[in-house]
Chain A
Amino acid sequence: MSPPQQPSSTNPNSLKIRLTHRFLHNLNNLNKKRSNLDNTQIHQRYNRVKLAAYASMAHVVGSRRAWSRAILWKIRNRKVSTRHKRVDHKPTNHHHARSIKRRTTNHSNPKREYVDPNGNSGQEVKLRKLVPGVETMDACGLLDETADYIKCLATQVEVMRNLVDLFSTI
């Protein structure tokens, strides 16, 4: 049995344990925050759960990886922009918040042609779109990040599947 707390290792078992803890914690938080407002809307609920999943994944990995940093940053910006939205309901501020969000989330060039001036193939560009935070990395680092991302995604999916299986009949 692997010890539960090994912050530096990505041993699959310990990763699973930490992910589970963190995921449930995040779900709990999300539900507590907006418990009464949008509970009936399925779409928003689903978005929140998805967000909790990615957030937990990113938190467990921490700042070690570029993709986790990118996710955490996106979440933070999202929170900031929604807070702006809530505080002032003026359209100007709304636009301002949206522009902040757009400007900060797309810090690399938003338009990506299929063949970069570096001569990247279309595949690499696709991969960069899928994995968050690898926009400005070279091919070597890109593959490294992709491997880590795949590992974490796979464990996250497993955790979620187990949870859903558990609670589905209850």
Chain B
Amino acid sequence: MYNAYETFHNRRTFLNTFFLLSISIGNRNQISKLLFNFTILQKMSLQDFQNGEDFVDQMLCGLQSGLPWPDMSIPTGDLFDDQSAFLTTKLRQHQISAGNGGVGILSSDTKSLLLQQQLLLFQNEMVDPSSFNSIQDLVHGFTGSLQSNQTQNFQYPSAQNFGSSGPTTAPITKAPTTVGASSGGGGSGPPAQPRQRVRARRGQATDPHSIAERLRRERIAERMKSLQELVPNANKTDKASMLDEIIDYVKFLQLQVKVLSMSRMGGVAAVAPLVADISTEGGPDGVQAAAGGAAGRSSNGTPSSSTNDTMTVAENQVVKLMEEDMGSAMQYLQRKGLCLMPISLATAISTATATCHLSSARNNHQLLGGGEGGGPSSPNLSVPKP
């Protein structure tokens, strides 16, 4: 584009090429839209009103295609909201009047409005630093040419407007330095950088969407961190692998619940009324009574051919385990004359005794061992010492 500027000396042909270029790029790119509107303004300045109808037609179609622009310009930053809103309203008024009138009412007002709006939007946009410099030069070229042309056709009002547009081009010169320094594109760093007025506005005003996006991403990152502490395998290389870990861990936990509820459910379910009574009564007196009652009540499904003593031991064990770690529970057992041994030994003992109850215990031990997988082999409570 810069080459085109240099090579084409004649403004008109140059403008035509730009016009064609911008149309070909289409309305997707901000740069193309800028070019489009600049070309329109140039045409406005260059062509006389003697060309009449075709000029008006061009302007009308140009303005109409530029309609999405005012809509986009509305959600700009706080500092320039008033100005852009004002400009958009004025532009719309002029558009309506132009549409209705059909004569060359496309006066200097609309032109100035367009130019100012473009400059505003231009400042508010995040343009890549690479294309920025070329655009900036083009802007300088255009404004210079516009000013020179304006003095030919519309002297008084244009002088006012382009006088105001002059200082607005000044921040643009400062802007590339900041854009070059920070990473281009949306959402670079915190919005409140007081370095440049343009910079702060740019950070805030990029879109409310990008700010919301940034906040959302930060919140998600926080939650991921807290999840990472819960899940045992915590190497946060990226979000996707972390999510996979989380999913696997949830599945694993649910599987553990399944397995644990399958194993020894008879035993647990039978002893549960005992412990439940204890927990509801909550006193040591209730322990003895409940133990006696439950032992009498216990159905044939109980694996426990136990006496009241072991029941009370078990109850106290439950309480201990709730309050402290397994270590203290083990100590309690040892005080009571019980010992702990690994599962394999316990199964060996149980096979040695060879009752049907103990064989079922062994099966469930094996199930437990298989279900717990990679965890440490849990020490198993043993049979009371003889």
Q: Which residues of A contact B (CB under 8 A)?
A: 1, 13, 16-17, 20-21, 24-25, 27-28, 30-32, 35, 39, 42, 45-46, 49-50, 52-54, 121, 123-124, 126-127, 130-131, 139-140, 143-144, 146-147, 149-151, 153-154, 156-157, 160-170
Contacts and interface: CB of A to CB of B under 8 A. Distances in A.
Interface in B302-321: 303-304, 306, 310-311, 314, 317-318, 321
A27 B272 contact: yes
B364 A168 contact: yes
Interface residues of B, number: 66
30 contacts: A13-B323, A21-B279, A25-B279, A27-B268, A28-B273, A49-B262, A50-B257, A123-B240, A127-B247, A127-B250, A130-B250, A146-B227, A147-B223, A147-B226, A147-B230, A149-B250, A154-B230, A157-B256, A157-B260, A161-B372, A162-B326, A164-B263, A165-B368, A167-B264, A168-B264, A169-B346, A169-B361, A170-B271, A170-B304, A170-B314
A143 B361 CA distance: 40
A20 B268 contact: no
Given A161-B260, A167-B264, A28 B276 contact: yes
B381 A166 contact: yes
A28 B272 contact: yes
B180 to A, nearest CB: 33
Nearest to A153: B253
Contact of A127 (B246, B310, B364): B246
A168 B272 contact: no
B301 interface: yes
Contacts of A27: 268-269, 272, 276
A157 B178 CA distance: 55
Contact of B318 (A1, A52, A163): A163
Given A24-B279, A45-B269, A170-B304, A162 B321 contact: yes
A45 B301 CA distance: 12
A49 B269 contact: yes
Given A143-B227, A150-B253, A170-B314, 12 more contacts: A27-B272, A31-B270, A46-B261, A121-B240, A130-B247, A140-B216, A140-B220, A143-B224, A147-B227, A150-B249, A168-B361, A169-B382
A31 B301 CA distance: 12
Contacts of B272: 24, 27-28, 31
A8 to B, nearest CB: 18
Q: Binding site of A, secondary structure by majority: helix, strand, loop or mixed?
A: helix
B383 interface: yes
Given A54-B257, A123-B244, A126-B247, A170 B303 contact: yes
Contact of B317 (A50, A160, A166, A168): A166
A123 B243 CA distance: 7
Nearest to B228: A147
Given A46-B261, A140-B219, A166 B254 contact: no
Contacts of A32: 273
A157 B251 CA distance: 13
B210 to A, nearest CB: 17
Interface in B279-306: 279-280, 299, 301, 303-304, 306
B368 A164 contact: yes
Given A140-B219, A169-B382, A164 B268 contact: yes
A164 to B, nearest CB: 5
Nearest to A39: B301
A61 B251 CA distance: 20
Given A150-B231, A151-B230, A166-B314, A31 B269 contact: yes
A163 to B, nearest CB: 6
